[in-house]
Chains A and B, each alone.
Chain A
């Protein structure tokens, strides 16, 4: 710490140049933070997917439905502990831009399948007792100002009601929270029996099944057994782990990880050149002063450390600012207004950002630091 004023003084030497470099690094880390959040969101929670959960969908596409009768057959397959099903509703709340996932589910199996959804017991009972009942995640409820007891009208885009009407009204009986910060709390779930009995067509079908296996190590075997059970049926199935399913879903848009890594790689390479140039200029201008430090007794390694510390300080300051700005921007919400429900910037990514900043500081400062280290005292002092 006693060298900090000396290191800081090095940055203050050319204030404008240091400030501009700092801003470049800051912008790069704003981008880093924001793209991390997008990457996390596109990953759609694959990282938090249950290891003991399988997704069972139509072999052709998830857009193809499966019969609800499959539930009983899946339940009989060895290794299956629990089965729940989902039916995508895809309705509009007030206006098309208000996107949030709406699903018809069976309350009991659904809540048993997803213990990460925290719903008070009295609300659970209310849902079981109310045929038109629905529960909403905290984020969506807060976004639209819903409270328990509200009647939520959703306009269907597919499922007309028996009377031809497209507006479905649900009674909000509960608001659930997430067990972890990364738990998706944007969902809106209502009862399958309400949908199935009330819709004009398409009765007896579901979109996909979620299956809990008794032993996660046997998940692959159970998936194979399920698919064998429905081989040659009118609706053959494809079963895979929840994580694999969610990653596959994200890949429908593209290899997001590669795209993000490419963008960030280009940005960081540019910043590396900018920061490296700043440090090289800074050291070149101070050749004589480096000679003075060495004349006063600073070792070659000491001078190397001072230059590297200066480079790292510049980089970490810029990164800290950038990550802070990114946190604020991410906290402001999902830029797609709902298509990325898990849009957040976790602490692990902040730490990774700071790690990258340190690495950037070391790499950008290494050549100038080595140059400073190798300077001979007598030669350096001559360059007054």
Chain B
């Protein structure tokens, strides 16, 4: 279903094999994803598009270990994450995945640097080491000068940059972005897309971005469409 020439197995960061995801609503079973196969090579910037309810966010949740498939396998960096326990999955997320949300999801009572530091609290790092990582991540997103500001003191674009810094700070292999420009104006959105593109090109981050916006998907190296839980057409950006 990938369409493009298959990448060598070692170069594949993500493999989704025969995945099905169903939810129960009373007696009714709703199949959100069906017979899904997807591979994502390392270093790819993949845009996941589709109408509302097509299963984009559900797929993103499966890739990020936030949810489990009803059937099938999700393999990231050679590890079957659908078989991990809740505790193992949490540890895996902390180490391997960076998540960027549409509404930033920063903790309003923490400064930008404290928000970015959150994932690092789980790692065996000293305070000085954590501070160094936080400074580096804020430097990458161009917000070193706003480190001590609270989210309410930042613009939407700046808040999203903090969100990206938080996703980056543990140096994850996979960056999952759920409509990262969905709540931003065009100018701020472009800034975020520039940043994601730079992270992909200059830092080699593998990025999966859910978006409705063709303007955003144009920045990706590959676009995949989902429709009614099935992978549809693939198109170059």
Contact = CB atoms under 8 A, between A and B. Distances in A.
A86 B87 CA distance: 72
B191 interface: no
Given A299-B90, A377-B66, A292 B107 contact: yes
A294 to B, nearest CB: 7
A298 B109 contact: no
Contacts of A376: 67
Contacts of B109: 9-10, 12-13
Given A2-B121, A300-B86, A384-B103, 17 more contacts: A3-B121, A6-B110, A6-B121, A9-B107, A9-B109, A289-B105, A295-B66, A295-B93, A295-B99, A296-B93, A296-B122, A297-B93, A299-B86, A376-B67, A377-B67, A381-B101, A384-B105
Interface of B, helix, strand, loop or mixed by DSSP:
helix
Interface string B92-107: 1111000101010101
A299 B110 CA distance: 20
B127 interface: yes
Q: Which of A293, A301, A377 has the most CB of B within 10 A?
A: A377
B58 to A, nearest CB: 8
A6 B118 contact: yes
A381 B110 contact: no
Interface in B108-156: 108-110, 114, 118-119, 121-122, 127
Given A6-B121, A378-B67, A297 B91 contact: yes
Contacts of A13: 108-109
A384 B57 CA distance: 14
Nearest to A296: B119
Nearest to B98: A296
B64 interface: yes
B173 interface: no
Interface string A95-135: 00000000000000000000000000000000000000000
Given A6-B110, A289-B107, A378-B67, A297 B86 contact: no
B61 interface: yes
Nearest to B64: A295
Contacts, number: 69
Contact of A378 (B61, B86, B121, B166): B61
Given A297-B91, A299-B87, A5 B110 contact: yes
A10 B87 CA distance: 24
A288 B118 CA distance: 15
Contacts of A301: 87
Interface string A1-30: 011011001101100000000000000000
Interface of B: 61, 64, 66-67, 86-87, 90-95, 99, 101, 103, 105, 107-110, 114, 118-119, 121-122, 127, 166
Nearest to B183: A384
Interface residues of A, number: 26
Q: Which of A9, A296, A298, A299 has the most CB of B within 10 A?
A: A296
Contacts of A293: 118
A384 B182 CA distance: 14
Interface of A, helix, strand, loop or mixed by DSSP:
helix
A298 B101 CA distance: 17
A298 B118 CA distance: 9
A295 B99 CA distance: 8
B67 A296 contact: no
B151 to A, nearest CB: 12
A295 B63 CA distance: 12
Q: Which of A2, A9, A295, A376 has the most CB of B within 10 A?
A: A295
Contact of B118 (A10, A296, A377, A378): A296
Nearest to B91: A297
A5 B105 contact: no
A292 B118 CA distance: 10
A378 B66 contact: yes
Contacts of B122: 296-298, 302
B114 to A, nearest CB: 6
B90 A298 contact: yes
Interface string A276-303: 0000000000001100111111111110
Interface in A46-95: none
Q: Which of B64, B119, B122 has the most CB of A within 10 A?
A: B122
Nearest to A11: B109
A294 B99 CA distance: 11
A17 to B, nearest CB: 13
Contacts of A9: 107, 109-110, 114
A297 B61 contact: no
Q: Which of B67, B91, B107, B109 has the most CB of A within 10 A?
A: B109
A300 B114 CA distance: 21
Nearest to A14: B109
Q: Which of B64, B105, B119 has the most CB of A within 10 A?
A: B105
Contacts of B91: 297, 299
A178 to B, nearest CB: 49
Contacts of A2: 121, 127
Nearest to B125: A2
Contact of B99 (A3, A288, A296): A296
B119 A5 contact: no
A302 B166 CA distance: 19
Contacts of B114: 5-6, 9
Nearest to B87: A299
Contact of A297 (B67, B95, B105, B127): B95
